[in-house]
Amino acid sequence: MMQTIRLIFPLPLFAALAAVLLLTGPSLTGYPGALAQAQEEEAEDKKAPMKGRKTQALGKQVYTLITDANEKVDAEDYAGARALIEKAKGLPKLTAYETAQIYSFSGFLNFNQDRYNPALRDYEKVLAQPDLPEGLLQQTYKTIAQLLFATEQYSKAIERAREYMNVAGEDPDMYALIATGYYQLDQTNRIIQPIEKAIALARERGTKPKEQWYLLQRVAYWEKEDYRKVRSILEILVTNWPKKEYWSQLSGIYYELKDESRQLAAYEAAYDQGLLETSSELTQMAQLFMQSEVPFKGAQVLEEGLASGKIEKNERNLRLLSQAWQMAQEDRKAIEPLQQAAKLSNDGDLYARLATSYLNLDQYKNCISASRNAINKGGLKYPGDTWLVLGMCQFENKQLSAAKTSFQNAAKYDKSAKNARSWITYTENEQARLQQLQESLNQLNEARQRAAERADS
């Protein structure tokens, strides 16, 4: 009997490296842009202060060291760049602004060498400086939040992300970072508010929400067992990112919601787009067709997959193809795959099914052969039924004595005993009828012969 397929709905995997999706590298306050700005301010000294903060500039010595360090970074001479920055740190009478820019560059340098914890310490020193320009303050908060996430300090990353938005305003990427942090902390009940805020903000600003954001939203509603909401999210995913996994998961959600027609339609959409390629995926597609009473399509999927080699040619899949053709009332097409499956089987049950198919097609000699193969191979679930089929095929093939023996063997099993006894009686009556007919024919022939002899005399 066909079993209903339940698609397992996997939760998204966000390893620590998922931070890379959010962390594109500290977008440090303008190297070399900040240097150009400092030079301009120093020359003109007339740039308007930002929200009451006084205009700040780099001294010539600090500016030169950072500029030279930046050139060495461009040349991938990180050791040379670090030496120059360490020299800058040791300069006397640094202003808070100069200290901030030196440590900001040091953080940038550490990040480029995957030294996240030293980079974090550098940026915290930047944040500790008073009267930071607003742009530097905002970017430092954001960079620290991202680095904390990359180093798996999720609670601190969430805190810094909120601090960033307190000074810079709402940011969809930061809301997504917060939601991902809650996921990493196994606080899935807290994911929904920030991730939906991220999605809403992106839409308000005319930008497309990111695929990963919907994955976070999906897992949160899956944990709540809100399958209708999960369905809506997956429908967005398959529309914008039509991946095989999303079509499969959408099909699984339709199953959860007992919407069998859409379950099939979703999986079929993946099949039509050529997204189903493995043996298990294609056989599952066939089974869904069969469950939905479209066995002909299921048989076509299986036959094409077996022919192309995408579906493994094993006993199970050949048997499934035979079953699909039988359900589609294509009994003759069901024979060949069933023959192949029977040869691969460890027991005789498939030969027994093959014998029944031959009986239904009135192919009695093939039926007798398949029945004997089934009995000889053994391991039958219902051996009495196989003896019964053998007897019926022998009966139809006019092998009445052999048929009677087969029915007598079938009568030894409780399940088939009643039918077997009826067939024994029927066979014996047929034998008696044929014997009586033969005797009558013999008598008629004898009478004709005597009449002929009298005529000759």
Q: What is the DSSP letter of 310?
A: S
Residues of the chain with pLDDT > 90, as a percent, come to: 70
Q: What is the DSSP letter of 158?
A: H
* Mean pLDDT, residues 117-136 taken together: 94
Q: Please report where in the chains the tokens 């097609």 appear, as a residue.
A: 361
Residue pair 254/262 in contact by the 8 Å Cβ criterion: yes
Report DSSP letters for 116-147, one per residue.
HHHHHHHHHHHHTSSS--HHHHHHHHHHHHHH
Is it true that domain 15-36+57-169 has CATH number 1.25.40.10? yes
Residue pair 175/198 in contact by the 8 Å Cβ criterion: yes
Instruction: Determine which helix (DSSP H) or strand (DSSP E) holds 30, and give its type and residue range.
Output: none
* Mean pLDDT, residues 318-323 taken together: 93
Which two structure tokens, joined as six digits, stand for 58?
């780099």
Least confident of 103-117, 148-162, 285-299, 438-452: 438-452
| Residue 44: per-residue pLDDT | 42
Residue pair 310/278 in contact by the 8 Å Cβ criterion: yes
Residues of the chain with pLDDT > 70, as a percent, come to: 88
* Mean pLDDT, residues 266-276 taken together: 88
Query: Beta-carbon neighbour count of residue 165 at 10 Å?
Result: 18
Q: Which of 223, 158, 163, 156 has the alpha carbon at shortest distance from 188? A: 223
pLDDT of 64 higher than 90:
yes
pLDDT of 55 higher than 90:
no
Residue 44 CA, distance from chain mean position:
61
List pLDDT tens digits, range 296-316: 999 999 999 999 999 999 999
| Residue 300: per-residue pLDDT | 94
Residue pair 102/61 in contact by the 8 Å Cβ criterion: no
Q: Please report where in the chains the tokens 């976070």 appear, as a residue.
A: 216
| Residue 457: per-residue pLDDT | 67
Angle at 161 between CA 156 and CA 163, to 5 degrees: 95
Residue pair 427/404 in contact by the 8 Å Cβ criterion: yes
List pLDDT tens digits, range 360-399: 899 999 999 999 999 999 999 999 999 999 999 999 999 9
Which two structure tokens, joined as six digits, stand for 77?
């001479």
Q: Please report where in the chains the tokens 């087969």 appear, as a residue.
A: 406
| Residue 99: per-residue pLDDT | 95
Distances in Å between the alpha carbon of 182 and those of 190, 209, 217? 6, 19, 12
Instruction: Determine which helix (DSSP H) or strand (DSSP E) holds 210, and give its type and residue range.
Output: none
* Mean pLDDT, residues 178-189 taken together: 95
Angle at 353 between CA 350 and CA 357, to 5 degrees: 135
Which two structure tokens, joined as six digits, stand for 134?
């607003």
Mean pLDDT over the full length of the chain? 86
For the CA atoms of the chain, what is the radius of gyration?
41
Please state the domain extents for the chain. 15-36+57-169, 225-275
Residue 363 CA, distance from chain mean position:
45
pLDDT of 11 higher than 50:
no
List pLDDT tens digits, range 193-252: 999 999 999 999 999 999 999 999 999 999 999 999 999 999 999 999 999 899 989 998
Higher pLDDT, 54 or 226: 226
* Mean pLDDT, residues 78-89 taken together: 95
Residue pair 214/237 in contact by the 8 Å Cβ criterion: yes
Quick one: pLDDT band at residue 274, thresholds 50, 70, 90?
confident
| Entry pTM | 0.67
Q: How far, in Å, CA of 236 to CA of 111, rounded? A: 36
List pLDDT tens digits, range 409-448: 999 999 999 999 999 999 999 888 988 888 788 888 877 8
